[in-house]
Structure 1
């Protein structure tokens, strides 16, 4: 069709369900006038680059006349033909650069579409380690040697490795948004983090021994806040993660013949139902439900749950004489005690919510009693003497 001003002014929307309605011009081919259900009319240009069809917006009719739209379309087509450049891709590239110019801007854009819990954790690492070192630098300015020196300068190997992994992922996200070519995953040397080796990490193998438990429970009971007391006893009884317990709502507590709780949006990404022992069920039943507060472990702020429990734990573990035990070690102790009792790594992993029982095996570190039984048995084998062997329970069937 050869468009004229008369035809354009008379054009009406024809279509259903907001289907695209376009009047195509024949000079140049690819120039079109889109008519919207609202009556709006706008110029667009259809073209191909590397066999892929593209559609570029040129501007509204009224802002661009027919002659101006034709001239603009011919210029764009000539540029595409002569330079083999995709103007839409260049436009996206410029927009991406505008919002990811610095390392901090790049990182914040990287986490923007992630789950809130994941984004918060990544930003916590970035604000602690990445932004102070590289935040205001242009993302293309950072060199591999700088990243290596920065990584080596972070005191704790675990924190250094997590920060490096986060920065590396942000760079991959930025590079692949620009060229859509992730075929070289993990070896794209445009990423300044590639080639920087992770530092050796010492596996943490700390658990609470059962003879330490009475002292810990006494220290827990000395806390004034009943929700703090209940929280730490619940962690011991259920083996869940601290954040799973802190975010638990009464709506996810099932109080019946088979009591259970449902932990939402867990570290593994799924909801997880965990049965409760009579002890754990009675513990929750003893708590007062605060009106207008959905959280099981209610905080002092109306409508909110407990948040700052680290200071309470510092007091508790000091009073119990177990200052080497972290809060997460309660979960590790839970898995380890089940291992001592004869449960398999698969059974333990099912309760703890591990995707693989390989993780559960780490939590099955033998306690002092089991270790003593092992070395005493070896003494009997080596010397022929009768050893003082501690009898262990039979391992539960798979």
Structure 2
């Protein structure tokens, strides 16, 4: 697998030099400052490539921008309202510009309103480090009592809604503000930061859009943009919902194996692919990650390898970001399945036989705790995860003791 690392640009507190010392082979980045629906120009893409290509002292880094994550799909496209048709044309233009700059893999998502959701961005674990956590009761307290979404209580089990009320009443004003900020947290340097009023406005516009209609909108989008991606040589790969369940009364359509099968079958072109995120899909107990790798390997264009620890035995509940080898996903089995897929591709002569992967998220440990980089993206925590994953890859690929090629 191609070992990559996510970088949020010059404002990222983890530098190009840090990436280089971590031993990564390629970089995952995006133009977070460009608003959704606008064209990524060749000039802006080349500027980011140049930033990645040099170290702090100006010398060449030897690294290149290899994966885009993410070229955002606007809310207008998802809702098919406002300027959605113009936004699709802008997306096509961006695809052509990305390809012209030599980048071949594009990760994106189709999650309504919020790209990802956590209730705690610095949850302390037993060894003293911190991680991101989704607490179902805290989220219910936010939905019912802070956002005050009409009908929210009915979307939770009675015991969860009751516990949420108790927890909300025990919260200080500072804790309530922190919880709201955590749920609506955006990417650093992003062009859009959502307020509670923004979230309420989006929810109102999604009121008539159920899962079936949102999936139809997604397929409409794919039918427009995937042929362009196919034409210019870009492999698009949709990231799963995070968490992979309906939230805030919004539909979720990329949460299970069945969801992926429906959309990949609907636009059955090689450029229409999947980002297998073991953390997002792994938050649901019914998602078989090694099996998904085996069954969808032909269309998996990007891997996010991280682990979560589910905190209940139900289909979905609270969870936190675990160490890469310490959660509920069998990471060894997943990596073995990915290596088998790569061997199959090499045998078939595929140019894309090497699948890019990155150590997704990581616990804040050691100096991460004072650096305070983007939540989920510490330097040392991700380096630890990458080292563990690299060890699995090396062992499974060993010429005497590893898997047969």
Measured against the shorter chain, the TM-score band is: under 0.3
TM-score for both structures, normalised by structure 1: 0.22
Q: TM-score, normalised by structure 2?
A: 0.21
Q: Which has the larger radius of gyration?
A: 1
